[in-house]
């Protein structure tokens, strides 16, 4: 129960993040068409490369499902992280994509837009509907219903593969931004303990523009006026 509540708290925390993805899911195909096609036809391989890149190519940081699942840290990752990551992306492909997404969101304080939420929610609902129709068709034994359920399953699989490809392209574009491909300088590698930021209510905007406060330049909020030691204006 405590673990479930912790996951709910983490999901609510992401709703308060202030940055946005460099490109939303609807724009990923035009943002990097070749990569999106590669992600569509070779998703697990792309997921492996993206997770490794998200960890700054330092596999000593690797934890199964990026620490977001109950099995995380209990699969012998420290002894053979490459093998564990291969197992994760091939056997738990959906979780591997989602974990990389959460890892980037928590590191860079990125929120998920309403449009992205609708697309991801539609994918999940379609999968659940296809599963229910398959069960009903199996119990009833109606041939027409069985054909309809198979068609719905195919549609659900197509949507799932397409959305996952778009998500992975979105992650790639975001890391291109992180690594300075859209700007003059790449980011420095953060310390290992900063890769997961759930213990911080508002993670720093690493690699993003700093917020302003009432028209003042970036930085901490201005001190109270008048400063200590100075008389108040008459």
Contact 69, 165 (CB under 8 A): no
Residue 95 vs residue 230, higher pLDDT:
95
Residue 39 vs residue 8, higher pLDDT:
39
Contact 23, 168 (CB under 8 A): no
Contact 207, 108 (CB under 8 A): yes
Q: Model-level pTM?
A: 0.73
Residue 208 vs residue 157, higher pLDDT:
157
Reading phi first (left if > 0) and then psi (alpha if -120 to 50, else beta), residue 211 is in beta
| Total number of residues shown for the chain | 234
pLDDT band at 200 (very low <50, low <70, confident <90, very high): very low
Q: What is residue 101's predicted lDDT score, i.e. its pLDDT?
A: 93
Residue 211 vs residue 52, higher pLDDT:
52
What are 117-155's pLDDT values in tens digits? 899 899 999 988 988 988 888 888 778 888 888 898 999
High-pLDDT (> 70) share of the chain, %: 73
Q: Distance (Å, rounded) from C-alpha 201 to C-alpha 207?
A: 18
pLDDT band at 186 (very low <50, low <70, confident <90, very high): low
């Amino acid at each position: 129960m405590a673990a479930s509540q912790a996951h709910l708290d983490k999901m609510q925390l992401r709703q308060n993040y202030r940055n946005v993805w460099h490109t939303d899911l609807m724009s990923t195909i035009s943002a990097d068409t070749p990569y999106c096609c590669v992600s569509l036809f070779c998703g697990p391989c792309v997921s492996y490369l993206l997770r490794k890149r998200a960890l700054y190519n330092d596999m000593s940081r690797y934890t199964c499902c990026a620490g977001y699942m109950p099995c995380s840290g209990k699969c012998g990752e420290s002894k053979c992280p490459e093998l564990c990551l291969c197992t994760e992306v091939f056997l738990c492909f959906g979780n591997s994509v989602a974990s990389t997404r959460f890892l980037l969101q928590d590191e860079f304080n990125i929120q998920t837009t309403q449009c992205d939420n609708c697309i991801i929610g539609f994918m999940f609902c379609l999968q659940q509907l296809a599963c229910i129709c398959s069960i009903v068709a199996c119990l009833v034994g109606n041939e027409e219903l069985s054909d309809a359920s198979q068609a719905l399953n195919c549609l659900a699989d197509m949507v799932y593969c397409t959305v996952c490809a778009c998500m992975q392209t979105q992650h790639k574009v975001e890391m291109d931004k992180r690594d300075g491909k859209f700007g003059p300088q790449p980011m420095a590698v953060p310390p290992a303990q900063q890769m997961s930021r759930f213990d911080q209510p508002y993670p720093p905007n690493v690699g993003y523009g700093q917020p302003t406060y009432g028209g003042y330049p970036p930085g901490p909020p201005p001190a109270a006026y008048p400063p200590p030691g100075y008389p108040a204006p008459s």
